[in-house]
Amino acid sequence: LRALWQQCLAAEWQHLLPVLQTLLPVCAQRIAQPAASAVDMLRALTGDDVPDDVSAQLPGAPSLVFVLSGHMLHSARAVRTEHNLWLFFGLPTHPAIFRRSPVGKAELLARLRVLADETSLHVLALLTQHDELSAQEIMSQLGLSQPNASRHLNRLSTAGYVQERRQGGAAKRYRLTPAFIAQTFQALEQYLADRAYAHAPAEPASATPPGVSAELRRLVDPQGRVMQWPSKRKDQLLVLDYLAARFEADTQYTEQEVNTILQRWHQWNDPAFLRRELVDARRLSRTKNGARYWRDLSNLKR
């Protein structure tokens, strides 16, 4: 089990943990009011109807265990064991929050442009006060015309700030996507921090870590950590060469050891993404099952 965790699950858990931590308060908000039944609770959590195969297993279940999943979007699954019925569920949220690569500058600007509108901000502020609202309710409370409300809701929904679901045929209901909002502002915070590093006074030459060339210096902080994944392929290869040099040639590493080394040398907490990039760019080699990794310098000569 330990090997299975280290080789297959640890990196995924590290990636999903901050997402789940963001979503848990949303769960608490949605079940703040007592539910009449487990079906009602699942419906409140997922924002959708409970599948028939799940609701059929609820009567007579000795104990119910609700488990928030990072791999399901507004759906539910049931797994019965001897003493429990485990109910795995996902929240209606934007798939972008589960991404592995960092939010780039162009995408960040596009997200922020959506917020550069007073009416859109009023819609978001209103939705923070309610679990969900219909378009008609939003129009009524904000005094918006139907075309104006539709335009703003469509922009917010397309961007990811708002989730929509249909109820009773064509009627739609809208709710906030807190995790997407948190991700956007975390990306903004990271971007501002990166720019601060970029414009900071030059460090003394003695403070520059070994292996950092003049060309690479703009991509790493004074501690030698890569600040963000570059958008240009030329810079990406510079970063990959730099990270590959953190590994001893022809020394074998476990996946966990690779992740630990990469964690030390970048800022955005996604060693699994960098590990895959190193393998794809042939800076690292690995066994077919991914159990062992090594830096094979012969790959660079081909």
With beta carbons less than 8 A apart as the criterion, state whether 164 and 92 touch.
no
Instruction: Indicate if 253 and 167 belong to the same structural domain.
Output: no
Query: In this structure, is residue 191 part of a structural domain?
Result: no
* Inside any domain, residue 272: yes
Task: Write out pLDDT tens, residues 155-212.
Answer: 998 888 998 877 656 678 898 888 788 888 888 888 887 776 555 554 454 455 666 7
- Mean pLDDT for all residues in the chain: 82
Are residue 238 and residue 178 in the same domain, yes or no?
A: no
**Is residue 203 a contact partner of residue 162, using CB atoms and an 8 Å limit?**
no
Which pLDDT score, from 0 to 100, does residue 138 have?
94
Are residues 14 and 65 located together in one domain of the fold? yes
* DSSP code per residue over 132-156: -EEHHHHHHHHT--HHHHHHHHHHH
- Residue 243 confidence (pLDDT) above 50: yes
Are 13 and 86 within one domain? yes
Q: pLDDT grade, residue 69 (50/70/90)?
A: confident
In a domain, 189, yes or no: no
Classify residue 187: in a domain, yes or no. no
Does 296 lie in the same domain as 206? yes
What's the pLDDT tens digit per position in 89-125?
877 665 665 555 677 888 889 889 999 999 999 999 9
Please state the pTM of the whole predicted model. 0.46
Q: Is there a single domain that holds both residue 8 and residue 57?
A: yes
Structural domain contains residue 190: no
pLDDT at position 224, please?
87
Note the pLDDT of residue 262: 92
| Position 268 pLDDT exceeds 80 | yes
Looking at the fold, whether 222 and 268 belong to one and the same domain comes out as yes
Residues 285 and 264 in one domain: yes
What residue type is assigned to position 39 of the chain? V
The pLDDT confidence band at residue 302, using thresholds 50, 70 and 90, is very low
Beta bridge pairs of residue 285: 294
82 and 104, same domain (yes or no): no
Confidence check: pLDDT of 78 > 50: yes
**Confidence band, pLDDT 50/70/90 cuts, at residue 1:** confident
Instruction: Give the domain extent around 233.
Output: 202-301
Q: How many domains does the structure of the chain reveal?
A: 3
196 found inside a domain: no
Q: Give 136's pLDDT tier (boundaries 50, 70, 90).
A: very high
Note the pLDDT of residue 242. Answer: 92
**Per 3-state DSSP, what percentage of the chain is helix, strand, and coil (rounded to 5)?**
50, 10, 35
| CA dihedral (38, 40, 46, 50) positive or negative | positive
Q: Token digits for 74?
A: 């507004």
Backbone angles phi, psi at 107, to 5 degrees: -70, -40
Residue 81's pLDDT band (boundaries 50, 70, 90)?
confident
Could you tell me if residue 283 is inside a domain?
yes
Q: Do 41 and 14 share a structural domain?
A: yes
Q: Which of 123, 150, 182 is the last residue of a domain?
A: 182
The CA–CA distances, whole Å, from 69 to 13, 20, 57 equal 11, 8, 19
Pairing of strands 162-166, 285-286: unpaired
Give pLDDT tens digits for 222-231: 888 898 888 8
Rounded average pLDDT over 242-249? 90
Let me know if residue 31 belongs to a domain. Answer: yes
6 and 42: one domain?
yes
Q: Are residues 16 and 81 in the same domain?
A: yes
Distance (Å, whole) CA 171 – CA 137: 12
* Final residue before a domain boundary, out of 182, 212, 227: 182
Please, which residues have CB within 8 angstroms of residue 210's CB and are 6 or more apart in sequence? none
Q: Note the pLDDT of residue 237.
A: 92
Considering all CA atoms of the chain, what is the largest pairwise distance in Å, rounded to the nearest integer? 70
- Cα gap 283→298, rounded to integer Å: 10
Q: What is the CATH number of the domain that holds 117?
A: 1.10.10.10
Pick from 92, 115, 136: which residue ends a domain? 92
Q: Parallel, antiparallel, or unpaired for β 85-89 and 162-166?
A: unpaired
Task: Tell me how far apart the alpha carbons of residues 278 and 237 are, in angstroms, rounded to a whole number.
Answer: 9
CA pair distance 92, 102, nearest whole angstrom: 21
